[in-house]
Chains A and B, each alone.
Chain A
Amino acid sequence: MSFIEVVFAIAGLFGLFTGLAVAVLSLTWMERKTLARIQQRAGPSVVGPHGLLQPVADAMKLATKEDMIPNYADKLLFWMAPIFVAVPAFMIWIAIPFGDNLAVRVLDLGLLYLVAISGIGVVGLLMGGWASSSRYSMLGGLRAAAQLVSYEIPIVIVILSIAVLVQSLSLDAVIGGNTISIGDDTRDLPGQGAIPFAFIMPMGLLIFLIAGLAELGRTPFDIHHAESEVVGGPFVEYSGAHWAVFFLAEYLNTFVISALIVILFFGGWSWPAPPESLFGNDLSSTATNLIGGAWLMIKTYLVAIGIFWIRGTYPRLRIDQLMAFAWQVLIPLSFVNLVLIAIVLFYDWPLWVMTAVSLPIILGVGIAVQRRRGARGRPQTVRILRRSAGEIGVPMPPASTPVTDQVQAGG
């Protein structure tokens, strides 16, 4: 590695770090504004125009707060946990392409790298949960471990399906397409400049979105820091800067999942209009990269807003339902997706076959999930009784009250 490359790498890292910090600040502001709009509130509006400086004020408050460590905490682990959560969240961004061949490091095994790094964060949550020496954080940490490990699998399988489709593990190939040659046969595999993979693999997109939400611990899968159950989960004993680091990591992860959805399914920097198609090929590379980066960011923020919207809408699942959903629905579906794409490619069928097969499967699974406990949207157990005032003889339920299908809690 030449000196120039080292300088560029360091400059890239520095820029990335600054950019991500700004992105996190903007995301917190956006989340609060989005939720406020959903909830008919104004949201932050005092600090700066439209409350834009609110995240800065929050950051300053958190940085200057007293950092408390519980007496019984395992101090080393307690200190290390936020680092274990935050560092991988930053590291993922090294491989994310912002434009054609534009990343801090362009990795040939980019997809593998993403999968490998994103699995580390859970260790930090578990460490924090254990080290805090609080029952809530312990429960939260264990919940996080169970949940994140389970939902890692569908994510990996979906990423694998994408890799099968483009016959490469490089993120550039996912966006720009790939040419492979087997013997004399050379085949052009599609990139996403023309048609994003979301239309080829709708099932993959859905699985990735749902599993991604679970991976982030966002509603409806926010059980590991569920406020009304385990208070704050692994973060319950953290305060000040330590807590801020957890917070930072959480928003970074939200951002990375949004970016991955865009890169894997919505053409990253090239879709809907690659810079060349807009301004021709004589555009300078800086301008091309700027336009590409802007496409990526716009789409990423849109996906992030979608995630915040979901947060404002849904209640949360219970742990057994969450695990059952992962193992009984998402993981089998992701394997179906993988096998389907392999079959389509092997027989050299056109790619719309994949879409045509996926859509009915999604529909069928959706209906099956809905009707699992017999066909009903809302239970028909409540009726309105009209009784005349002071009527004697209250109609009582039968002696041994039959209770409608009682779900056994012990899964």
Chain B
Amino acid sequence: MTDPVATQIEDKFTYQASSEPGTVDMMVNMGPQHPATHGVFRMELRVDGEQIQDVVPHIGYLHRGSEKLCEHELYSQIITLFDRFDYVSNFNNELVIVSAVEKLMGVEPPPRAELIRIIMCEFNRIASHLLFYGTFAIDMGAITPVLYNFRDREKIQSLFESVSGARMMHNYFRVGGVKEDVKDDFTSRALALCDELERGVDETDKLLTENEIFVERTTGIGVISGEDALDWGLSGPVLRASGVPYDVRVDEPYSRYSELDFGIPVGSAGDCWDRFYLRILEARESLSIIRQAMALLEPGDTMAQIRRIARPPAGEVYAHCENPRGDLGVYIVSDGGERPYRLKVRPPSFCNLQALKDLTVGHYIADAVVILGTLDIVLGEVDR
């Protein structure tokens, strides 16, 4: 066999004997430029025919040292950096950093601001899940759902634009409240949008979940048990699909989530189908949260009376919120200055991605793509 590429790579990877005598396993390098790796993620697959024997994930292509950068920025400037971690659920990220600083300072934002935050975060959760359905369908070879989902996501983004002035990198939440109150037509717009989104999610549900090929491709693929999932530190839909009903919104209620009534979708098979369908149900729960929060919304202040430049007391704090991808946390060590002494993010995608090897080995190459799709990683957050 004179495969020049093979001989080149042979120095780097030791070939391992495959199950059949006289053959070697093939290394397939997926990424960092690959349509299915959702950004700049690379995995080295060792395959025996089509079957995966080993996976070595490589991350860090997007590493910007954001945590180090945060140590050199004012607290209000850090919010903009958090927007850029998980760039498809920006509001959820902003909420984490502002609630951490508020916790450190002992500041209570006004109730109206809290509700606006919740509404924005839940809309953002739906937007993020919509993106997931679409890209996941593309991973499976269905090219149509993504356009339907983008159509709906577009509507959410125009709502965001009317509220915060930006479609993606909002920088809208502030320590102690939100930047400004919502516009007058916000309530009617948001409620109308809820109805549209409900239709959109139902449409995706109809298009994909009952499709025979879809069910065939996802059930029993990438199974992880609840105990293993906890051991790996997985969170969010990936953990809940394995039967562990851990949701920060309920387990450690922050903001005003304890006043709202909502269910947590929990799977039991821990496979790709559960992880997908759970997100459909979650989007519906988010809609119900938004409607309840809209009903509670009363006029009032949207910003607490605090110093313009936050100067929290010395101490350390860990605050976390339920991101669309899981439990996003931030650990801040403050020395009493205007800038944090140390800031560390707990990125849910990063933790979820760790379990990739456990999930994929033994499956086919096509399944690796599906499994990676259901982990729903955002590389901006994995690498930071």
Contacts and interface: CB of A to CB of B under 8 A. Distances in A.
B217 to A, nearest CB: 6
A378 B148 contact: no
A187 interface: no
A101 B184 CA distance: 75
Nearest to B226: A397
A33 to B, nearest CB: 14
A182 interface: no
B141 A387 contact: no
Interface in B193-247: 208-217, 219-221, 223, 225-227, 241-246
A409 B51 contact: yes
A383 B226 contact: no
A231 interface: yes
Contacts of A397: 225-227, 242-244, 268
B75 interface: no
A190 B258 CA distance: 75
A321 B365 contact: no
Interface string B17-28: 000000000111
Interface stretch (B249-257, B314-322, B347-355, B374-382): B249-257
Tell me the interface secondary structure of chain B in the complex.
mixed
Interface stretch (A2-10, A78-86, A312-320, A334-342): A312-320
A72 B4 contact: yes
B278 A312 contact: no
Interface in A283-325: 311-321
Interface residues of B, number: 76
- The winner among A39, A40, A222, A381 for most chain B CB atoms within 10 A is A381
A407 B211 CA distance: 18
Contacts of B5: 72, 133-135
Contact of B143 (A35, A378, A382): A35
Nearest to A219: B141
Interface stretch (B56-64, B80-88, B95-103, B132-140): B132-140
B281 A382 contact: yes
A39 B144 contact: yes
A315 B137 contact: yes
Interface in B129-172: 137-144, 147-148, 151
Given A135-B28, A382-B266, A403-B270, A228 B36 contact: yes
14 contacts: A35-B143, A133-B4, A220-B141, A315-B140, A315-B213, A315-B214, A321-B217, A379-B215, A385-B264, A386-B264, A387-B250, A403-B223, A404-B268, A409-B364
Given A231-B34, A409-B221, 8 more contacts: A222-B141, A229-B365, A315-B208, A318-B367, A381-B268, A384-B285, A386-B261, A386-B262
Shortest beta-carbon contacts, A-B, top 3: A316-B141, A407-B220, A397-B243
